[in-house]
Amino acid sequence: MAKNIVICGLHSVQAYLDRHPEGILEVFLLKGRDDERMNKLVKGLRPLGVTLQWRERGQLDELAGDAHHQGAVARVREQAPGDENDLVVFLDGLEAPPFLLLLDGVTDPHNLGACLRSADAAGIHAVITPRDKSASITPVVRKVAVGAADSMPFFQVTNLARTMEMLKERGIWLMGTALEEEAKSLYDVALTGPIGIIMGAEGSGMRRLTRELCDVLLYIPMGGSVESLNVSVATGVTLFEAMRQRTRLKS
């Protein structure tokens, strides 16, 4: 049974409203705030019949705890991640070449939140993780993701390798980041068309089977003395290079 949670921030509440309007139970808004973002949120909430409760800043601070609320706090039903079947339905409904992010064993909630935020900003269609030995959506993830935990389609699958095989059967090119000698520079590979980018776990990288199922291995060229980047930073670098290429292709 889904539990009720509190989400904070204009972007987070708007993202939840856009994807799960039926799950909104109660909304508290900053009294006296009257701007375009707040008016858009209010306009979207009114048809739902949800009572809008206008509060002073101190009252919102108390409701939000240590979260940055930006004048909006909502009590909502927590949404469970999608599974393999939901992923198939999602892919069938895409009108553009799939642009996916797969996280193989990212367990730190701060890293997952940062990856979701980068994925949202880079135009990723969905994020896929294994159900076991991976971080799930938690309050920490929501805080770091700044709304992306609710706006980004998120799927947790039982068997990541089997899911990768399904994606390959659909013509999705799988590109994993690694430090192996056979890996190619991120900047020498076409990251357009239907692709899935795979990022490995903090420290250990991708698991063996995950790596073997990749069509291409990539590395990020480094100009300093460090040999690797934090997984969330590496995700941002990789996704934005892909976005740059895909945007240039459209222009």
Give 149-172 pLDDT, tens digit per residue.
Answer: 888 999 999 999 999 999 999 999
Task: Kindly tell me if the per-residue pLDDT of 127 is higher than 90.
Answer: yes
Residues 6+ apart with CB under 8 A from 243: 122, 123
Burial of 89 (0-12, 13-18, 19+ CB in 10 A): exposed
Task: Kindly tell me if the per-residue pLDDT of 66 is higher than 80.
Answer: no
Going by pLDDT thresholds of 50, 70 and 90, the confidence category of residue 142 is: confident
pTM of the model: 0.84
Tokens of 153: 């389609």
Q: Please state, in angstroms and rounded to a whole number, the distance separating the CA atoms of residues 127 and 82.
A: 10
Task: Kindly tell me if the per-residue pLDDT of 203 is higher than 90.
Answer: no
Task: Kindly tell me if the per-residue pLDDT of 30 is higher than 90.
Answer: yes
Longest dimension (CA), the chain: 59
Q: What is the pLDDT of residues 83-123, one digit of tens each?
A: 999 999 999 999 999 999 999 999 999 999 999 999 999 99
- pLDDT score of 80: 86
Distance of CA 202 to the CA centre of its chain: 17
Q: What is the mean pLDDT of residues 191-213?
A: 92
Q: Please state, in angstroms and rounded to a whole number, the distance separating the CA atoms of residues 28 and 25.
A: 11
- pLDDT score of 2: 63
Residues 6+ apart with CB under 8 A from 40: 14
Going by pLDDT thresholds of 50, 70 and 90, the confidence category of residue 236 is: very high
Q: What is the mean pLDDT of residues 231-238?
A: 95
- pLDDT score of 148: 86
Task: Kindly tell me if the per-residue pLDDT of 208 is higher than 70.
Answer: yes
Q: Which residue has the higher pLDDT, 6 or 243?
A: 243
- pLDDT score of 64: 85
Q: What is the mean pLDDT of residues 177-205?
A: 90
Domains of the chain: 4-77 (3.30.1330.30), 84-250 (3.40.1280.10)
- pLDDT score of 3: 83
Identify whether the C-beta of residue 111 lies closer than 8 Å to the C-beta of residue 135.
Answer: yes
Identify whether the C-beta of residue 26 lies closer than 8 Å to the C-beta of residue 75.
Answer: yes
